[in-house]
């Protein structure tokens, strides 16, 4: 962004924000927080963070992937920068599973094979599987030691139904009676397994191989007179990861603006555009805002772990919030891949005006998301970049917030989608080429970063954060606290 264009955008932002209708009185010390904050988040300052993340990747086999020393070093870099600025910073840990091999979990009864699900995600059968006599408790649920016969044959494999208690309790009881494995018979239906069967983190408490089989396999087990063969060979490992959180000590704690970017890189990539660019923009916005900013609404900056392997960080975070804590979140702003070399300029489709999003219905998008899209699109228009909408994605960090009923929005420069001829006319670049040709490859380095796109997008991140930190009211605002009805994630 040229100095002349930047100055013009700042002037227009000043006029627009000055005419907006604030949610509550604006602090006298912050006449135009959006403009002042955006002016400070420059490409040069964001590049300082990108070079630091590149150095971390270079020192750690070219990767900053979750569960690696490169990710741990990325966490420490971000946390240290925030602490040095005066923020109170937390790096809460969470566990997640990383799949190594799906295997072919199988139950064989009288020469007939049945596909099973491996419930013991961290426990496998020995190589070649287990062979044992199937034993059914007198009370089919198998929740108590008294449910079983007095004595079980050596090496018995217990099989129970899916009612009355958790799979952990069923396993403990079976093991107490001497069983070496457990099979849970769960008949398929529209509601799935009973909600009491798999409690959160159940797999960490299983100590022997545990399988789940359909009713067809259950009937075969009930008729079996000879030993059965069980193979559970799916391999997973447990990874302990961390998020990074910091919040202003000023502003309303019941109208929090949550601003996030995922911190981990893909497995075989330094991840400087994906998503060092989002991290750099959000981190520099936090550093320029500071912990004692004169804001109306508190701002919480979050850097997610385990995004590349299934949204582990954001899911763990939201699962830990009760309904009141969810109601205190006014909105979630998400920023990813802001500096793609063949850049586009997209806002997340909060008003559902674009093509349908697979797996997301218009009714799934919380009220207020359309206003956030308008705010971000308005900024891009002022910056001379006509915005397009990016379909919402159920695999993105914002999706769990949507499920909880929290308005969401964000920007991206695009990834593994080819730029169309029309988009190339709008934005320049090469039609028919991915927005980021180096997406999730070892070539996603600092040299992959589009400085001009980063300047535009980083400026927009700061502008949006400053605007909503100042006010969540007006035409592009969100519901006030007393009108929110968030749904706690199970």
Q: Active-site residues: which are they?
A: 307
Long-range pairs for 125-129: beta carbons < 8 A, 24 or more residues apart:
125/181, 125/209, 125/230, 125/231, 125/232, 125/233, 128/231, 129/229, 129/230, 129/231, 129/232, 129/233
Asked whether the beta carbons of 263 and 279 are under 8 A apart, the reply is yes
C-alpha to C-alpha distance for 379 and 59, rounded to whole angstroms:
38
CA 353 remoteness from chain centre: 24
- CB count in 10 Å sphere of residue 214: 15
C-alpha to C-alpha distance for 23 and 12, rounded to whole angstroms:
21
Shortest CA distance to 181 belongs to which of 139, 227, 142, 131? 131
Distances (CA, A) of 254 to 17, 202, 314, 324: 22, 33, 20, 9
115 membership: H or E segment, kind and range? strand 112-115
- CB count in 10 Å sphere of residue 391: 15
β partners of residue 412? 346
C-alpha to C-alpha distance for 59 and 53, rounded to whole angstroms:
10
- The DSSP annotation for 422-470 comes to HHHHHH-S-TTSBSSTTTTSTT-SGGG--HHHHHHHHHHHHHHHHHHHH
Instruction: For tokens 């089919």, name the residue.
Output: 140
Q: State the Cα torsion 58-60-62-66 to the nearest 10°.
A: -130
C-alpha to C-alpha distance for 159 and 215, rounded to whole angstroms:
12
Asked whether the beta carbons of 263 and 75 are under 8 A apart, the reply is yes
Instruction: For tokens 């927009």, name the residue.
Output: 460
Structure tokens at 154: 């050596």
β partners of residue 97? 238
């Amino acid at each position: 962004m040229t100095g002349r264009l930047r100055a013009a955008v700042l002037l227009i932002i000043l006029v627009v924000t000055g005419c907006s209708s604030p949610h509550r009185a604006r602090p006298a010390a912050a006449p135009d927080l959006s403009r002042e904050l955006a002016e400070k988040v420059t490409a040069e300052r964001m590049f300082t963070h990108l070079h630091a993340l590149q150095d971390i990747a270079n020192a750690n086999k070219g990767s900053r992937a979750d569960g690696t020393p490169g990710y741990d070093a990325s966490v420490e870099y971000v946390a240290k920068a925030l602490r040095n600025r005066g923020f109170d910073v937390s790096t809460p840990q969470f566990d997640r599973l990383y799949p190594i091999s799906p295997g072919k979990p199988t139950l064989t009864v009288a020469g007939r094979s049945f596909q099973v699900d491996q419930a013991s995600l961290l426990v496998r059968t020995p190589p070649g599987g287990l062979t044992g006599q199937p034993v059914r408790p007198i009370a089919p649920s198998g929740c108590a030691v008294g449910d079983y016969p007095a004595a079980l044959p050596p090496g018995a494999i217990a099989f129970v139904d899916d009612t009355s208690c958790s799979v952990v309790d069923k396993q403990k009881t079976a093991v107490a009676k001497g069983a070496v494995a457990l099979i849970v018979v769960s008949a398929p239906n529209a509601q799935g397994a009973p909600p009491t069967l798999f409690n959160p983190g159940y797999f960490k408490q299983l100590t022997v191989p545990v399988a789940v089989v359909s009713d067809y396999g259950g009937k075969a087990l009930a008729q079996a007179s000879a030993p059965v063969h069980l193979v559970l060979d799916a391999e997973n490992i447990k990874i302990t990861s961390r998020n990074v959180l910091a919040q202003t000590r000023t502003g309303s704690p019941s109208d929090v603006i949550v601003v996030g970017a995922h911190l981990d890189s893909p497995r075989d990539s330094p991840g400087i555009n994906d998503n060092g660019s989002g991290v750099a923009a959000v981190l520099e916005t936090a550093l320029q805002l500071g912990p004692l900013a004169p804001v109306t609404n508190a701002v919480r900056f979050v850097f997610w772990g385990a995004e590349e392997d299934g949204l582990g960080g954001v899911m763990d975070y939201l699962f830990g919030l009760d309904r009141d804590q969810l109601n205190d979140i006014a909105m979630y702003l998400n920023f990813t891949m802001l500096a793609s070399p063949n850049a586009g300029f997209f806002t997340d489709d909060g008003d559902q005006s674009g093509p349908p999003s697979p797996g997301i219905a218009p009714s799934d998008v919380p009220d207020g998301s359309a206003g956030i899209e308008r705010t971000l699109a308005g900024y891009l228009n002022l910056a001379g970049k006509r915005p397009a909408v990016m379909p919402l994605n159920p695999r993105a960090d914002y999706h769990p917030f949507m499920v909880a009923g929290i308005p969401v929005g964000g920007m991206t420069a695009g990834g593994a989608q080819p730029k169309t001829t029309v988009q190339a006319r709008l934005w320049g670049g090469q039609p028919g080429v991915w927005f980021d040709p180096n997406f999730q490859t070892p070539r996603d380095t600092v040299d992959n970063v589009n400085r001009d796109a980063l300047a535009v997008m980083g400026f927009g991140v700061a502008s949006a954060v400053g605007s909503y930190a100042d006010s969540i009211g007006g035409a592009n605002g969100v519901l006030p606290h007393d009108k929110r009805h968030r749904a706690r994630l199970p």
